Structure 1
Amino acid sequence: MPRKEILDQIQKYTHPFRIASGKGFQLRDFDPGDTCGLNMEKGEAAELLQRGTRWLAEEQDMLYAQDRWSLLLVFQAMDAAGKDSTIKHVMSGVNPQGCQVSSFKQPSQEELAHDFMWRYVTRLPVRGQIGIFNRSYYEEVLVVRVHEEILKRQRLPPAFMGARIWDERLADIAHFEEYLTRQGVVILKFFLNLSRGEQKKRFMKRLDNPEKNWKFSVSDVQERRYWDDYMGSYAAAIAATASEHAPWYVVPADNKWFTRLVVAAAIVEAVEKLNLAYPKVSPEQKKELAAARAELAREA
């Protein structure tokens, strides 16, 4: 299938969920169970996902060789939305040497002693590489906003702890992403939009399966009590930071196979726009290569 035809297909599964402007954004307008009319029995989704992962592997090789751009993939979601499995499946064909996954847990004392962006900045991808943030600096306007006792541990001067702190942090994040874009960092942000009912089903499966018990934490149930607060925080974050240069994708997450398809399609579509190519060999380099080949050929 020609690339243009694949891209045309891909757009059907990315554009409905792509948010490049927060104006008028309402999270309730997005159905966590949406599949754009696809189902796995048709095989179309599985085939397109395979094509997408192979294509991404080819593009990553050129990204690494060209050494000009870098790609930052940000994943945010409620627990059990499938971040880990999505990253695993979508990036399955990518060379590990050109990709780094960073998962951000509770901050250390050293991290708390710095500004809220510090620990994330230190893990940004270098040129030619793909960086994946499994949770990210958006936690600073999500979990910290829902649980303001966490904010107190950051020991900010009282003058900067006012009612505008969340708007100010969101503005800081938006400016930071604009800055990164001007440095050649392509930013894609994915909110895996899981329904409360589907999260309950997945938690129950973890509890019922002894081999999955390790994935469950009592705090997971406790956090469900703040579901509406989290949804409000996600809606505010997406509305304030969605842009053409750093779009959000509100990805339906109730069907994992469709989640993976949308994420893979969005990455392929964005990387294809870079028009990546292998570096051209100069005439001088060609002479050097010819000389090296001749020397090797002379060896006994």
Structure 2
Amino acid sequence: MKQIQNTDFKITSKINIEDLPTRYDLNAPEKDVEKALKNTRKQLSELQNTMYAHDKYSVLVCLQGMDTSGKDSLVREVFKSFNVRGVEVHSFKVPTDLELSHDYLWRHYIALPQRGKFGVFNRTHYENVLVTRVHPNYILGENLPDVNTVDDIDDAFWDKRFNQINNFEKHIAENGTIIFKFFLNLSKEEQKYRLLRRLRKQEKNWKFSAGDLKERKLWDKYQTCYEDVLNKTSKDYAPWYNIPADDKPTARYIVAKIMYDVLSKYTDIQEPELDDKTKANLDVYKAELERE
């Protein structure tokens, strides 16, 4: 199977979204890709156990992509070997009244993972510069002091919001959160196939919403907004990775491999050693228990 490097997918310079691949060939049959994923997710789960004992880093995994890009199944397949206490998944929907009574980052901040754990944002704080940019009227629901009509939402507004997001991520990175941002890059043709599959298979009907077709008509607008997101918010402390998502098993493996390779470079992540007194008396403690 083809060996991959995280640099193959990392956004490090200005991109045109049309040039980013939506499919990647690992030169291996699907069963081999799934086997590689199984091994990698096991390694990730073991690393998370060490991180929990180390208690200095947390990991935030951000998943963004168009409808049907495979976010839910990726979460299921990549993290299925984890201790359930080691990973928390948050799927951010339309903001509630309580959430709208705070700034737009508040609900994301309070969902951040604690040290030693992985947190997965299935759709993320970037919805606030994606969906709201395609539908700027949603911003009016935030009841912002200087925004009274859609006309008040100009380029300067979005630039300010990009800066706020960058500052948010820089702050949490400087305080021990390792950030991965994955753009599940799906082709329009593949989305059509997946939507039709939801309609044709009765057991998949529940996943379909007429709203999916309305959003599909806005495909080009979304692509423009994603291009801005990738260009303006891929930073050394919080890089974006373009994940070709037309083939789900390949996308899942690439995500898992990137995370494991990056985290493995943190050589300071080690299980803490026992203090000298405890270490010297291990045989005493074992004997005490064995005498019971």
TM-score band w.r.t. shorter chain:
over 0.9
* 1:161-200, Cα deviation, whole Å (9 max, x unpaired): 4411111111111111111111110000001000111000
Q: Does 1:135 align with 2:126?
A: no
> Which amino acid in the other structure matches residue 206 of structure 2?
W
Aligned with 1:190 (options 182, 197, 200): 182
Whichever residue aligns with residue 9 of structure 1, its letter is Q
Give the equivalent residue in structure 2 for 1:250: 242
CA distances 1:240-264 after superposition (whole Å, capped 9, x unpaired): 1101221111100111111111101
1, 9, 20: which one aligns with 2:3: 9
1:34 matched to 2:24? The reply is yes
Alignment of 1:271-282 (within 5 A): 271-275=263-267, 276-282=269-275
CA distance in structure 1 between the partners assigned to 2:29 and 2:98 by the alignment: 47
Query: What is the rounded CA distance, in whole Å, between the counterparts of 1:39 and 1:201 in structure 2?
Result: 23
The equivalent residue for 1:79 is 67
Structure-to-structure mapping, 1:71-110, within 5 angstroms: 71-110=59-98
Per-residue CA deviation, residues 179-229 of structure 1 (Å, 9 max, x unaligned), is 111111000000100011100000001000111000000000110011011
State the distance in 2 between where 1:196 and 1:50 align. 29
**Cα distance in 2, alignment partners of residues 155 and 290 from structure 1:** 65
- The alignment status of 1:284 with 2:277, answered yes or no, reads yes
Give the structure 1 partner of residue 42 of structure 2.
Answer: 54
Secondary structure of the residue aligned to 2:226 is: helix
User: Secondary structure of the equivalent of 2:180?
Assistant: strand
CA distance in 1, matches of 2:80, 2:247: 19
In 1, the alpha carbon distance for the partners of 2:282 and 2:105 equals 45
Helix, strand or coil for the counterpart of 1:245? coil
Give the unaligned 5+ runs of structure 2: none
Shift of 1:285: 2.3
Q: For the Cα contact (< 8 Å) 1:10–1:269, is it kept in 2?
A: no
Q: 1:69 aligns to what?
A: 57
Whole-angstrom distance in 2 between the partners of 1:267 and 1:154: 34
The CA deviation at 1:288 is: 5.3
Asked whether the 8 Å contact 1:38–1:45 carries over to 2, the reply is no
Q: Does 1:116 align with 2:104?
A: yes
| Partner residue in 2 for 1:126 | 114
Contact 2:60 2:180 in 1 (8 A): yes
Alpha-carbon separation, structure 2, partners of 1:289 and 1:69: 29
Deviation at 1:44, TM superposition (A): 4.2
Map 1:195-210; keep pairs closer than 5 Å.
195-210=187-202
Q: Residues 136 and 153 of structure 2 are in contact (CA less than 8 Å); yes or no, is this contact kept in structure 1?
A: no
Q: Do the aligned partners of 2:181 and 2:238 also contact (CA within 8 Å) in 1?
A: yes
- 2:289 aligns with 296
- Distance in 1 (alpha carbons) for counterparts of 2:153 and 2:252: 40
Match of 1:266 in 2: 258
SS of structure 2 residue aligned to 1:33: coil
Write the letter of the residue equivalent to 2:272.
P
Shift of 1:297: 2.7
| CA distance in structure 1 between the partners assigned to 2:159 and 2:281 by the alignment | 57
> In the alignment, is residue 220 of structure 1 matched against residue 218 of structure 2?
no
Gaps of 5+ in 1: 1-5
